[in-house]
């Protein structure tokens, strides 16, 4: 049984721990690929810490938005500002992205973490072991990374992201193909990361997950923001018809 009062207290704590890279301001963002406009003049402001859930139907532009704010792809038009600064390698470096399908190196679990720690000049066995313990993989360092279970691979990908000490953690449907136990383990780590002050942008289709994790919800449909509300408002009474339909389980195309 979850303690709702405690959850509210934790959520309030997260919001106060807004990292220096906030606010994120997106104005008139447009992205087109092969003649097809996928994001249409999207505007969004995120100025609080905690976990922002990005929801919406397939093809709405959620993953694209994550890649755009992370600087992996460049917009056709519009502006993305993190703490007033446009996206640059320096901004990307302060963030980490966990992909839906973890891309692990063909090495051991420990070597996957050592690779990132070394690239960031933080290589040490104690740091690596602490990260492995944090994601529940203590003592598994010697195993081949690609032979871990799906849930373990995703937790290792999360540990690798945390190895960069990100101010913003971007999660692109990381639990989409995991079983409930793996989802629970992953969510517990993410909640803990957010509690410690890391801003989390979490893309998910899972309404239950969004209810459990979100401080605020950005609902995207058709390449623009249909709604951005605090989680309790969003789930109690969504403003937009498209979000209401989505939450009611209707097919939103």
Nearer to other proteins, 68 or 252 (CB): 68
With a CB cutoff of 8 Å and minimum separation 6, the contacts of 184 are: none
Token digits of residue 234 = 């969003």
Nearest to 224 by CA among 30, 16, 8: 30
With a CB cutoff of 8 Å and minimum separation 6, the contacts of 166 are: 94, 95, 96, 198
Residues in the chain: 253
Closest contact distance (angstroms) between CB of 117 and other proteins is 11
Closest contact distance (angstroms) between CB of 62 and other proteins is 16
Closest contact distance (angstroms) between CB of 226 and other proteins is 27
Q: How far apart are CA 200 and CA 171, in angstroms?
A: 7
Closest contact distance (angstroms) between CB of 22 and other proteins is 19
Nearer to other proteins, 5 or 103 (CB): 103
Closest contact distance (angstroms) between CB of 145 and other proteins is 8
Closest contact distance (angstroms) between CB of 80 and other proteins is 16
Closest contact distance (angstroms) between CB of 105 and other proteins is 6
Nearer to other proteins, 45 or 108 (CB): 108
Nearer to other proteins, 99 or 235 (CB): 99
Q: How far apart are CA 209 and CA 204, in angstroms?
A: 8
Nearer to other proteins, 115 or 235 (CB): 115
Residues lying near other proteins in the complex (CB under 8 A): 70, 72, 89, 92-93, 95-97, 99, 103, 105-107, 115-116, 119, 144-147, 164
């Amino acid at each position: 049984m979850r303690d709702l009062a405690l959850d509210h207290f934790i959520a309030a704590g997260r919001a106060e721990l807004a990292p220096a890279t906030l606010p994120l301001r997106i104005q008139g963002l447009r992205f087109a690929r092969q003649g097809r406009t996928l994001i249409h003049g999207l505007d969004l402001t995120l100025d609080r810490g905690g976990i922002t859930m990005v929801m919406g139907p397939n093809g709405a532009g959620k993953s694209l938005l994550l890649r755009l704010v992370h600087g992996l792809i460049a917009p056709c038009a519009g502006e993305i500002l993190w703490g007033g600064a446009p996206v640059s390698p320096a901004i990307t470096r302060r963030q980490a992205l966990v992909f839906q399908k973890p891309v692990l190196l063909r090495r051991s679990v420990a070597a996957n973490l050592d690779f990132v720690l070394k690239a960031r000049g933080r290589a040490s066995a104690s740091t690596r072991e602490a990260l492995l313990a944090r994601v529940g993989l203590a003592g598994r360092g010697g195993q081949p990374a690609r032979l871990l279970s799906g849930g373990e691979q995703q937790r290792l990908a999360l540990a690798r992201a945390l190895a960069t000490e990100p101010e913003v953690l971007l999660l692109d449907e990381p639990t989409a193909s995991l079983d409930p136990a793996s989802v629970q383990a992953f969510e517990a780590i993410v909640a803990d990361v957010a509690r410690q002050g890391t801003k989390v942008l979490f893309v998910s289709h899972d309404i239950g997950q969004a209810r459990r994790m979100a401080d605020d919800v950005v609902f995207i449909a058709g390449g623009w923001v249909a709604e951005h509300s605090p989680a309790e408002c969003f789930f109690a009474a969504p403003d937009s018809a498209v979000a209401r339909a989505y939450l009611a389980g209707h097919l939103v195309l």
